[in-house]
Amino acid sequence: MNRRDAADLAGTVGLGAWVAFGVLAMVVIGHDGAPLWPDDGFLTWSLGHRPDVTEVLARGVTDTGSGAVPYALAALAGAIVGRTVRQRMWAAALSLACLGAGQALRYGVMTLVQRPRPAPADWAASAGGWAFPSGHTTTAALTAGLLITAVSLRAPRGATSLRVVIGSWGVLVGLSRVYLGVHWFTDVIGGWLFATGWLGVCLYAMTRWPPASFVSGPPRTPDSPTEGHAPQDPGRRGRSRPA
């Protein structure tokens, strides 16, 4: 797949995710933030299936969806993509910018929608702010998307199991928010859609307008052969070409 096709694919997937997110956001706003049809069922199930061991595990998983962990993984994604030190620095900076800008944009949307969380009596973890879209879910899904993209670029025909592990982590962080009672299930769906849409925008821009260091490649040396010309043989210098 060439760069233009990759950009078109990222843009198409991102656009579809934005449309779905917009529809869901309108439904949430139209119901004044009240739980939608799948929300009560998922919360009720979570409240009835919380042994101490799984609750501790869920809190451990959910903690990886915020703080320094996602930013460290985003920087790692950039390091995986780059082939030179300069490329790795550029890619890491772009990955961190994608994650940081996505978090800021998500916070703005959350403030506009102002959806209340489930009742605090049902919480098994600390939480703050409005509910939609879920912040931990968005952050983890964005980070997982960046990592999967990086692994796929470096090993397009392999590392399937690694991609599955990364994707499963991104999904589990979102589900842990519902299990711990701090988000509605539709908050998590909104986070997944938001992350997919924003990741599509970032990948489209990175693929369509990459930094110069990614396009130009390493500088040529005087002894490097130029494209379309065979290297000269010093032993043939001055000899005439046979008829």
Average pLDDT over residues 82-107: 92
What is the SS3 string spanning 71-94? HHHHHHHHHHHCCCHHHHHHHHHH
Longest dimension (CA), the chain: 94
* pLDDT confidence tier of residue 214, bands split at 50, 70 and 90: low
Model pTM score: 0.84
225: left (phi over 0), alpha (psi -120 to 50) or beta: beta
At 115-145, the pLDDT tens digits run 999 999 999 998 989 999 999 999 999 999 9
* pLDDT confidence tier of residue 159, bands split at 50, 70 and 90: confident
Evaluate if residue 238 carries a pLDDT over 90. no
* pLDDT confidence tier of residue 211, bands split at 50, 70 and 90: low
Res 1: pLDDT: 59
